[in-house]
Amino acid sequence: MSSEANGVVQAPAKKLRVMSGMRVTGRLHIGHYWGALQNWVKLQDEYECFFGAMDWHGMTTAYKSPKEIAPWTREMIAEFLAWGVDPEKVTLFIQSRIPEHIELFMIFANLTPMGWLERVNTWKDAVEEMKANDTHNLGRFAYPVLQAADIAIYRAHKVPVGADQISHLEISREIVRRFNNLYKAKLPEMSHLLTEIPLVPGLDGRKMSKSYGNTLYLTEDSEKDLKKKVNMMVTDPARVRREDVGEPTKCSVYGYHKLYSSAEDLQWVEAGCRSAGIGCGDCKGRLAANIEKISLEPREKKKELLNNPGRLDSIIDAGCDKARKEAQKTLEIVRSSMKW
Ligand code: TRP
Ligand code: SF4
């Protein structure tokens, strides 16, 4: 489309490129949705987007059970599509299908001083955990370098992240800057696209994590499973009996209502909880119903995609082809600036 101003036809502004990905670690939970996916669906209209299922990143920790990675990856793509990522608007890909990620990773690995990786702010805490679960390995260590390559391979300008992740992007930018300086190249220096990410606690109020067994999957298999999980949720401990008053802000059920329920329902919870006018069972029932309302269609869509592997494959193949062409173009630019 072109716009006409003062009789002059102007070329349309070129959309900025956004790249993001999700590490393949198993089924998606609602934290993945509120942390990234719902935002991707918004970004797809405004930017030229590349979104990926990052199975190489998954492999850094799941290397002992690689056979699980492929089905998880397919399910992840089905989930993206079910929740509104549009393959006509977005280039949707699987990281390991684009070998150029790894080639650029290796080029970047050579110009990344070890000290940069050691100084990544989350690293020190992670080391003990990694030793404990046998993921204290070179691949895991180099995670930020691969991430830099993921972004640079599509010459992306923007990466959507929450406030706590801004520093992670810093190392990507440093790597690209070093590359540009060394080889007089002009890969875009990526920057963050700050996104507000709501806090999504686990069913027990702790951090939502597969290892705690406190996750609500993004698409529970059935309404029954969804209800069962919501019923398991921990409530304000002050409400022991039905007639005890509670404080919604101390309760994860209320936290979820804020994500899934209407303003009217929120008021109903606030007033009812503080006056003991409603019971926790009522409150959870309403929440489950509201989540179900939103999940019904995506659940069906996801099932349909997984039951029609041909259709899902053709969407994946088309996305990977598009991504690969762009990645190859970047690698040509990279090699020619390196005179290699
Ligand atoms: N680290 C991201 C996650 O944990 C996944 C990821 C890999 C990514 N490469 C990326 C995100 C590049 C943004 C840009 O889900
Ligand atoms: Fe939590 Fe709702 Fe019970 Fe209040 S009424 S404690 S918000 S579940």
For the chain, how many structural domains are there in total? 2
> What is the model's pLDDT at position 10?
63
Question: Which ligand is nearest to the Cα of residue 101, counting in written order?
Answer: 1
Domain match, 99 and 53 both? yes
Write down the pLDDT at residue 130.
82
The pLDDT value given to residue 173: 97
209 in a structural domain: no
Contacts of 166 (CB under 8 A, 6+ apart): 192, 194
230 and 142 housed in the same domain: no
240 and 119 both lie in a single domain: no
Take atom 8 of ligand 2 and give the residue whose Cα is closest.
280
Decide if 71 is inside a domain: yes
Is 55 near ligand 1, meaning CB less than 6 Å away? no
Segment 167-179, tens digit of pLDDT: 889 999 999 999 9
pLDDT attached to residue 4: 47
- Per-residue pLDDT of 113-132, as tens digits, reads 999 988 876 677 778 778 88
Amino acid at 23: R
252 part of a folded domain: yes
Q: How large is the angle between the packed helices 280-307 and 252-260, nearest 10 degrees?
A: 50
Residue 56 belongs to what domain range? 14-201+309-338
CATH of the domain at 241: 1.10.240.10
* Ligand 2 pocket, residue 246 CB under 6 Å: yes
What is the Å distance from ligand 2's center to 210 Cα? 24
- CATH code of the domain in which 33 resides: 3.40.50.620
Does residue 183 sit in the same domain as residue 295?
no
The closest of 68, 69, 71 to 57, measured between CA atoms, is 69
The verdict on 64 and 169 lying in the same domain is yes
- Asked whether residue 249 falls in the same domain as residue 178, the answer is no
Residue 215 in any domain: the answer is no
Q: Which residue has the tokens 């793509």?
A: 77
CA of 202 to the centre of ligand 2 (A): 15
Whether residues 321 and 278 share a domain: the answer is no
Same domain as 256, residue 178: no
Structure confidence at residue 2 (pLDDT)? 44
Q: 193 in a domain, yes or no?
A: yes
65: in domain: yes
Query: Does one domain contain both 57 and 153?
Result: yes
How far apart CA 317 and CA 82 sit, in angstroms, is 17
Same structural domain for residues 109 and 190?
yes
User: Nearest 5°: phi and psi at 53?
Assistant: -95, 110
Q: Which residues contact 79 (CB under 8 A, 6 or more apart)?
A: 28, 37, 218, 219, 298, 302
Token pair in block for residue 254: 């209320």
Structure confidence at residue 132 (pLDDT): 81
Residues lower than pLDDT 70 in the chain = 1-12, 121-122
- 316 and 261 within one domain: no
Position 5 in a domain: no
> Does the Cβ of 269 fall within 6 Å of ligand 2?
yes
Identify whether 9 is part of a domain: no
Tokens of 267: 């008021």
Task: Identify whether residues 82 and 195 lie together within a single domain.
Answer: yes
